[in-house]
Amino acid sequence: MDTVDPVRDIEVVNTELVLADLESVEKRKNRVQKAAKSGDKKSLAELALLEKLEAHLNEGRTIVTLDLTPEEKAMVRLFFLLTAKPTLFACNVAEDDLAHADENRFVRQVRDYVGKHHDTGAVVVSAEIESELVMLSPEERAEYLAGLGVTETGVSNLIREAYQLLGLRTYLTTGEKETRAWTIHAGDKAPQAAGVIHTDFEKSFISAEVISYEDLVAAGSFAKARELGKLRTEGREYVMQDGDVVEFKTFL
């Protein structure tokens, strides 16, 4: 009789991925060994890394959990290994469990396991609820979620966590005609963020007028936010934060 065991299921899939990567590493190792025998420095470095990966995989462990130098990580990306990719786990729960997912023993088991073995986290979704939400208007959706005791959909949470895992961040620009979200990388500075809109904006960057989304919503308008001193002017070294609302000043 089938039993519910999410950790077992993860391990089964994980084993298949590890074996696939092990096969890829061994094939690449066989090719590189010939060049390494000639003393080629690049081939010798690659061979050393492949042997390191092989030993780790033979222990049944994923590449993403292996401690690598920045140079090794750059080389591994060229190998296109499955277990070297960032991983996020989603726990599908029943409708009644969504508001109290932290109390679900299976969710706790998954979070504990992936935290220790994959150095990542797990988000909770309810496929049943998501299928119903797509049929509702935004107002009905908000009311339905409130009735369940949650404030956002599982898919929204999944997208946000995936962005964080991939090192992506979002900032906003707004005006009379439209409000737009722009995707940048964590650590990007204001000129780089401006360059996402147009490359010329990065070259001609002067400054950025910035306010957090939460502060803008709380103030109700830019005029009120400025009156409250929430708007601030940032220069070229400002590191963009997730949810910043920005107006860039440029020479253009």
Q: pTM value?
A: 0.75
Consecutive H or E run containing 171: strand 168-174
Other Cβ atoms within 10 Å of 238 Cβ, number: 19
Domain 168-250 has CATH 3.10.20.30: yes
- pLDDT of 77: 94
Please enumerate in sequence order all residues whose Cβ is within 8 A of that of 147, keeping only pairs 6 or more positions apart, or say none. none
Candidate CATH numbers 3.30.460.80, 1.10.645.10, 1.10.150.300, 1.20.1740.10; the one for domain 6-84: 1.10.150.300
- pLDDT of 1: 44
CATH number of the domain located at residue range(s) 89-164 in this protein: 3.40.50.300
Which residues make up the CATH 1.10.150.300 domain(s) of the chain? 6-84
Which residues make up the CATH 3.10.20.30 domain(s) of the chain? 168-250
SS3 169: strand
SS3 2: coil
Residues of the chain with pLDDT under 70: 1-2
Separation between Cα atoms, residue 183 and residue 52, nearest integer Å: 35
H-type helices in the chain, by residue range?
6-36, 41-58, 70-77, 105-117, 127-133, 138-148, 154-165, 190-197, 199-203, 213-219, 222-227
Question: Taking the C-alpha atoms of 28, 32, 33 and 37 in order, what is their torsion angle to the nearest 10 degrees?
Answer: 180
